[in-house]
Chain A
Amino acid sequence: DQQVKQNSPSLSVQEGRISILNCDYTNSMFDYFLWYKKYPAEGPTFLISISSIKDKNEDGRFTVFLNKSAKHLSLHIVPSQPGDSAVYFCAASRGSTSGTYKYIFGTGTRLKVLA
């Protein structure tokens, strides 16, 4: 049972336009969400995150929106640049009473920004 889903395996966007990557989750106990970016032959790198007490977080060209009632989050990249071409993973975590934090990752969306 996949608790974090990224239903679009790939996305192509023209340079300068907005890229919107989507992520759905099933576990209402998740309280923190993260987006990672991954280039080929490299490890994922952290991009942006959001706590469940917020519905939006912005960092430069990147904005993450959280809709708790729909159990949905999205990453907006504006404007998209060719260097943004990568695989994007969303991840969700739930703090336990012992303070350990495990992360559940989605399957990733490959973004291609066309020059």
Chain B
Amino acid sequence: NAGVTQTPKFRVLKTGQSMTLLCAQDMNHEYMYWYRQDPGMGLRLIHYSVGEGTTAKGEVPDGYNVSRLKKQNFLLGLESAAPSQTSVYFCASRHLAVGYNEQFFGPGTRLTVL
């Protein structure tokens, strides 16, 4: 089991460029999440999904879009990158059933927007 994987690990973008971050999990989890981590801010939820074909906004969704076309994949898109989106992005997943509250995190993607 690879758990939760994220692609790419690092990326540098210029302002206005677009990119997609890929998250994949092999644990058959229903719930998937995208967070960003910034110094002094902790982890903030961008978007999340409760199942294939569904997505919902988190705390800081502006400037991002997501898609969950397959249960195992959750994509995070930046249509027009801004320097304020420089951050470390973490994907996470968890089981649907009540009582399985633990989230499993990927290793992160470090994004720099110049």
Interface size for B (C-beta < 8 A) is: 28
Chain B 13-57: CB-based contact to A (< 8 A → 1; otherwise 0): 000000000000000000101010000111111001010000010
Give the chain B neighbours of A57 by CB distance below 8 A.
none
Give the chain A neighbours of B61 by CB distance below 8 A.
none
Give the chain B neighbours of A100 by CB distance below 8 A.
31, 48, 50, 56
Shortest A109–chain B CB gap in Å is 10
Known A41-B108, A42-B108, A43-B90; contact A103-B103, beta-carbon cutoff 8 A: yes
Within 8 A of A (CB), among B77-100: 90, 92, 94, 96, 98
Contact A43 B105 (CB under 8 A): yes
How long is the Cα–Cα vector from A49 to B99 in the complex, in angstroms? Answer: 11
Asked if A82 is at the interface of the complex by the 8 Å CB criterion, the answer is no
Asked if B64 is at the interface of the complex by the 8 Å CB criterion, the answer is no
Known A43-B4, A44-B90, A100-B50; contact A107-B41, beta-carbon cutoff 8 A: yes
Interface size for A (C-beta < 8 A) is: 28
Contact A43 B41 (CB under 8 A): no
Contact B42 A101 (CB under 8 A): no
Contact B31 A43 (CB under 8 A): no
Chain A 52-79: CB-based contact to B (< 8 A → 1; otherwise 0): 0000000000000000000000000000
Residue in A41, A44, A95 whose beta carbon sits within 8 Å of that of B98 in the complex: A95
How long is the Cα–Cα vector from A45 to B42 in the complex, in angstroms? Answer: 14
Query: Chain B interface (Cβ within 8 Å of chain A)?
Result: 4, 31, 33, 35, 40-45, 48, 50, 56, 58-59, 90, 92, 94, 96, 98, 101-108
List of 9 A-B pairs having minimum Cβ-Cβ separation, nearest first: A43-B105, A105-B43, A107-B42, A46-B102, A105-B42, A44-B105, A43-B107, A100-B50, A43-B106
